[in-house]
Structure 1
Amino acid sequence: MSAPPSPVILPAAVNAHSHAFHRVLRGRTHTGRGSFWSWREQMYRHSAALTPELYEKLATAVYAEMVTAGFSAVGEFHYLHHRPDGTPYPDHDMEHALARAARNAGIRLTLLDTCYLFGGIGQPLNDEQSRFADDDASSWLARLESLREAFEQTYDPEFVTVGAALHSVRAVDPPSLHTIAEQLNPDLPLHVHLSEQPAENQACLDAYGLTPTQLLAKHGLLSERLSAVHATHLTERDIALLGRAGANIVMCPTTEADLADGIGPALELASAGAVISLGTDQHAVVDPLLEMRALEHGERLRSGERGRFTPGELVAASSTAGGRSLRGHRMVHAHEDYIRVRSDSVRTAGADADQIVLAATASDVETVVINGQVVARNGIHESLGDPAILLTDVLKELE
């Protein structure tokens, strides 16, 4: 009997956009018709149930699922800052819960602390959004700096760091954008939900006469440190502006499909000079190989052409581009963070090694190595065990 073919070694994936608490919604939002906006109302209701203790349990399970799927790093787009009534916790309790969860799972975390000031353009916050918000941009900047200091004193920066995010142009008004552009530490990565929905674009045009991308450009926020998440509904001018700035584009193809967002102009953005990375967003799917495939398949469906991104470009989008998005030009250490993918499974048997990302799924990830240490084998976390058990237990507490 011949020896089985050797596993294919790939860089571990970087999940450049995560909302850990959205995992509660998987498989629970699919009855009836609706849109992103009706899904959002369900998301708000579930967010109100989370305490720091429950969030640490949930995020530990979600991050363990990520690790076993092949992710070594995650950017957590975080806005559950306060208690449900909006009063602050005494010491960044929700943020520390996420950091501890990441350390429990062994994943590298960039906590993207998010500025969220309004319920929509010209609209006050509703009750469900109260825990997301700070009083104003200056208050958010002060809290962000306090959080950075607390994390620097508590965690190894190789594993836990703090970045910044603007929820969207719906939640941060132009005066606040101006303040943040002037005062935010230039070394921090800055993420923003951008043009996920046509209604967001229209509201921005109605209020300011500019698209969301053009509004960010007006306030000097387009640069290589900016990551535009989704970037689904863009004009040709928007694409040119993002490309000229060398911005990062974090696409979340399985979420964008699940929420009926649409298919963004990935190839046009890359051709213009932007850098495409990938995220799992609401965790309808946690599988870096399926995100890579969905990016390419979306391009094929949109264009009627195959081979829009090469397999090597898809791997780069899932790894080094994600590292650029989360830590500027500081890349995840590929020689320390990598995965071994089976080449003899029912999905991968016969696949060329350099094309395996278009055949494999997370079920084929045999070994996950982070910081030179094996942290997962065949879907089981080395220290936490089966993520399915962790998820089942914590989701029961949230029912």
Structure 2
Amino acid sequence: MKSFWCERAWLPDGIASRVLVRVDGGRIASVSGVDTIPLGVERLYGLVFPGFANAHSHAFHRALRGRTHGDGGTFWTWRDRMYAVAERLTPESYLKLARAVYAEMAVAGVTAVGEFHYLHHGGNEMAEALRQAARDAGIRLTLLDACYLAGGIGQPVRGVQERFSDGTGDRWLDRVAELRGDDNTKIGAAIHSVRAVPRETLSLVAGAFPDRPLHVHLSEQPAENEACLQAYGLTPTELLAEAGALTPRTTAVHGTHLSTRDISLLGSTRTGVCFCPTTEADLADGIGPARELADAGSPLSLGSDQHAVIDPLAEARALEHNERLRTGERGRFAPADLVAALTNHAAIGWPEAGRIEAGAPADLVAVRVNSIRTAGTAPEQLIMSATASDVAAVVVGGRVVARDGVHEQLGDVSRLLVEAID
């Protein structure tokens, strides 16, 4: 049995001081207050949060960071550059890149990632590369294998998009059925978007694996809504509802451009919504109605998507900041609400994680309270001032995977990234 002493810890019923977390078999055996630090325990200073969940990732997009801003452009011109990266990746080079990206997540406090995977390369070799990359980086993986059959509504796949497609829904189903989860990996499913999956196939994907997480890109761009309305007379949300794709195990990613009815449909079905604020800002997507969705009943989660930034604390803070920009009001989300979104592992199929309590995975993130950014911050508001640079230690399943920005097994993550990105 291993133990961690936390100077302060974010527990389900509030922040507590001098907390002893005992770990057995990778899970928390007990949580208790102690007056004296026991000998031989690992000490975690600052405020210790449950592990952070990155609910939406495209690992290969990390190769685009800092390379798409020279000519302004649009979401669609950015997509062309993304296709160029996708075209040259192999299973071997993807393993190298994804390992570095997941290591960057680990040092930032991410203990589990939902990988929205559509770079199939004609089989499951790329999926296996992602599985190995997550294991090497010491974080859990939910592989959300995406069905991608069309280049747009009523349009065939073209060029590099052929690498994303299985040709038919049945072939997608057969390939995904070959994937098996393990102690570090869960297998989920994804509808890439209503642009990439025809209407007649949506229900097949939605019902294929009823006990697994299902994710879908939803209404990220107005052009998607316009095309869907023109083709079907329905919004993308209404089309997904028709297909039975809106359920408590579903997470809609972005949800930027939604009607009042869309919000009601998502909330009434308890469909989750994952916001990716730094990506949505980087791509000029817009600001989605986060508060209205939460009030309607949709659980919120957070993702770094294209990895313009990998900083879970910044994503959480941006959820509130975007609401302030959108409405002119402060306090749309309390700091505790932001922590709940940041630690929402249920969105990627790990409902037992995201809490410091007996029975949960022993995933801990120690954040400094005395850095140049956080000095003077009230502990309960630390999420409003801290950044990934303030993450002092990261524990996954009772094992320390990172300290002070350095990965325990892989070392200097910046070196890994330089070597992986041309």
TM-score, normalization by structure 2: 0.87
Tell me which residue corresponds to 1:93: 125
The one of 164, 168, 171 aligned to 2:193 = 168
Q: 2:112 & 2:138 partners in 1: Cα distance?
A: 9
The offset of 1:208, in angstroms, is 0.1
Aligned 1:48-127 pairs, distance under 5 A: 48-82=87-121, 88-89=122-123, 92-127=124-159
Tell me which residue corresponds to 2:3: none
Q: 1:285 & 1:268 partners in 2: Cα distance?
A: 26
The one of 373, 379, 387 aligned to 1:347 = 373
The one of 292, 302, 305 aligned to 1:281 = 305
The one of 384, 387, 390 aligned to 1:364 = 390
Q: Answer whether contact 1:225 1:328 (CA < 8 A) is retained.
A: no
Seen in structure 2, the aligned counterparts of structure 1 residues 386 and 128 have a Cα distance that, compared at 3 Å, is same
The offset of 1:221, in angstroms, is 1.1
Q: 1:357 & 1:286 partners in 2: Cα distance?
A: 15
The one of 257, 272, 276 aligned to 1:252 = 276
Tell me which residue corresponds to 2:404: 378
The offset of 1:363, in angstroms, is 0.3
The DSSP-based 3-state class of the residue aligned with 1:339 is strand
The DSSP-based 3-state class of the residue aligned with 2:257 is coil
Deviations 1:348-372 (A, max 9, x none): 0000000010000000000101101
The offset of 1:328, in angstroms, is 6.6
Q: Answer whether contact 2:189 2:209 (CA < 8 A) is retained.
A: no
Q: 2:179 & 2:159 partners in 1: Cα distance?
A: 25
The DSSP-based 3-state class of the residue aligned with 1:114 is strand
The offset of 1:106, in angstroms, is 0.4
Q: 2:260 & 2:333 partners in 1: Cα distance?
A: 20
Seen in structure 2, the aligned counterparts of structure 1 residues 44 and 385 have a Cα distance that, compared at 3 Å, is same
Structure whose residues are more often strand by fraction:
2
The DSSP-based 3-state class of the residue aligned with 2:136 is helix
Q: 1:28 & 1:9 partners in 2: Cα distance?
A: 35
The offset of 1:178, in angstroms, is 2.6
Q: 1:176 & 1:233 partners in 2: Cα distance?
A: 23
2:169 counterpart of 1:137: yes
The offset of 1:334, in angstroms, is 3.8
Q: 1:224 & 1:132 partners in 2: Cα distance?
A: 27
Q: For the aligned residues, what is the CA RMSD?
A: 1.3
Tell me which residue corresponds to 1:146: 178
Runs of 4+ residues over 4 Å off in structure 1: none
Deviations 1:282-316 (A, max 9, x none): 00000010001111100000010011111111000
Structure whose residues are more often helix by fraction:
1
Point out where structure 1 has 5 or more consecutive residues left out of the alignment.
83-87
Tell me which residue corresponds to 1:13: 52
Tell me which residue corresponds to 1:293: 317
Tell me which residue corresponds to 1:180: 205
Aligned 1:217-256 pairs, distance under 5 A: 217-256=241-280
Tell me which residue corresponds to 1:216: 240
The DSSP-based 3-state class of the residue aligned with 1:234 is coil
The offset of 1:70, in angstroms, is 0.5
The one of 324, 327, 342 aligned to 2:349 = 327
Seen in structure 2, the aligned counterparts of structure 1 residues 330 and 163 have a Cα distance that, compared at 3 Å, is farther
Q: 1:96 & 1:354 partners in 2: Cα distance?
A: 40
Deviations 1:183-239 (A, max 9, x none): x12101100000000000000000000000000011111110110000000000000
The offset of 1:330, in angstroms, is 4.2
Q: Answer whether contact 2:58 2:116 (CA < 8 A) is retained.
A: yes
The DSSP-based 3-state class of the residue aligned with 1:147 is coil
The offset of 1:181, in angstroms, is 3.5
Letter in 1 for 2:197: V
Deviations 1:363-387 (A, max 9, x none): 0000101101111000000000011
